[in-house]
Amino acid sequence: MESKYKTKLTSEQLERIATQILNRELSEYQEMNEGWANQAYRIGLKDGQTVVLKIAPTDKSNLMRCEQELMNTEVEALRLVSELTDLPVPRVLAYDDSLTLAPSEYFIMEHMTGKPYNQVKEHYSIDEQEAIEEELGRYNRRINEITGEQFGYFSSGRQRYSTWKEAFLQLMEDVLIDGQKAGIKFSMPYEELEHLILARADVLNDVLEPAFISWDLWDGNVLVEKGRITAIIDFERSLWADPLMEHYFSHFNYTPGFLKGYGRSITTPSERSRRGLYDLYFDLLLRIECAYRQFDDHKHIQWTIHNLEESIERFRLG
């Protein structure tokens, strides 16, 4: 997905980074356009190693509130998760925020083999998909077993909260402020939607322990090869939160395989109410981020409009 604010690097810049940061010579490179936020490059080095470089937007003046410190978040999160040696995540090889070799902060990590699951899913049978998603459930549960002391954005540079209710309402407030600032309109007035959210927010107090969540663990961030998961990537949106906020508990997925692997499903009234709040938050973000990233895919933009209207109606009736 292309957005107007991604930072592009020249071959000369990539060569200098390879030489000065990795002490290697660059052989070749290729843009990776699957991501929706940061720009990424697959870099081949002359010693045969392949690495991935991700660089943040140079102009941060028009980022959404939830997109502040994304690169720092991903580096910190990857370093934390990589301590779990049974998880297939890339190791961070270097992080540079000096702005001496590139116009924005960037980091370099291991290149992981495999194709994004969303690109190859249809090539697998239903049984094979269930096996992959069961494996994902086990990995996702392992990730969520990491616990913290406070709730909120993962980056150490962001404010944290003692309760999940406070933290989630701040997440929601951030995205709604961004929507109003961008002039995004939908079927329900902002004030009415905010009132409805607050009226249902007490269930968030049932979450007592901050769990580390990827939050963005959708099919595009799962690499697969020969029916097995080879990597879990993109931890830039990580949170200290309720595990039920993870993507595969959402209305987009929630598959039997994942639930079997994770060992948990949504069963109680509190869990269903919380998931309704999380679905609304995600659908709002999908719609509002289009204005900030200036996506050029009009079909995707129209889909986010329709998806949000359905989401608001579900939430209103729920």
d(CA 16, CA 101): 7
Q: Which run of H or of E encompasses 165? A: helix 164-182
Answer whether residue 284 shows pLDDT above 80: yes
* Residue range 93-102: mean pLDDT, rounded: 97
pTM: 0.94
Range of the domain at 49: 11-110
| pLDDT exceeds cutoff 90 at 4 | no
Q: What is the mean pLDDT of residues 95-116?
A: 97
Mean pLDDT value across residues 36-42: 85
The chain-wide mean pLDDT, for the chain, equals 95
Report whether pLDDT(35) > 80. Answer: no
149: pLDDT confidence band, cut at 50, 70 and 90? Answer: very high
Residues 135 and 284 in one domain: yes
Kindly report the number of other CB atoms within 10 A of residue 173's CB atom. Answer: 13
How do residues 169-197 score in pLDDT, each as one tens digit? 999 999 999 999 999 999 999 999 999 99
Tally the domains of the chain: 2
Whether 3 has a pLDDT exceeding 70, the answer reads no
Question: Of 110, 145, 162, which residue sits at a domain end?
Answer: 110
Is 209 found in the same domain as 84? Answer: no
CB 285 within 8 A of CB 37: no
Query: How high is the pLDDT of residue 5?
Result: 67
For residues 242 and 174, membership in a common domain is answered with yes
Is the confidence at residue 283, as pLDDT, over 90?
Answer: yes
CATH number at residue 98: 3.30.200.20
Provide mean pLDDT across the span 83-112.
97
Query: 303 and 185, same structural domain?
Result: yes
pLDDT category of residue 38 using cuts at 50, 70 and 90:
confident
CA-to-CA separations, 314 to 135, 307, 311, 318, in angstroms, rounded:
30, 11, 5, 6
Burial of 75 (0-12, 13-18, 19+ CB in 10 A): buried
Residue 280's H or E segment, with its range, is helix 269-293
Q: Are residues 134 and 97 located together in one domain of the fold?
A: no
Choose one of 85, 110, 135: the last residue of a domain. Answer: 110
Quick one: tokens of 85?
Answer: 């040696």
pLDDT tens digits for 239-249? Answer: 999 999 999 99
Question: Of 288, 257, 268, 307, nearest to 62 (Cα)?
Answer: 288
Same domain for 252 and 135, yes or no, is yes
Q: Which two tokens stand for residue 275?
A: 């998931």
Q: Which of 209, 274, 277, 271 is nearest to 240 (CA)?
A: 209
Percent of the chain with pLDDT over 70: 97
DSSP letter for 147, please. Answer: B
Are 120 and 195 in a shared domain?
Answer: yes
**Tens of pLDDT, residues 51-83:** 999 999 887 778 899 998 999 999 999 999 999
User: Cα–Cα distance between 273 and 211 in angstroms, integer?
Assistant: 19
Of 110, 138, 161, the last residue of a domain is: 110
C-alpha 143/C-alpha 185 separation (Å) is 36
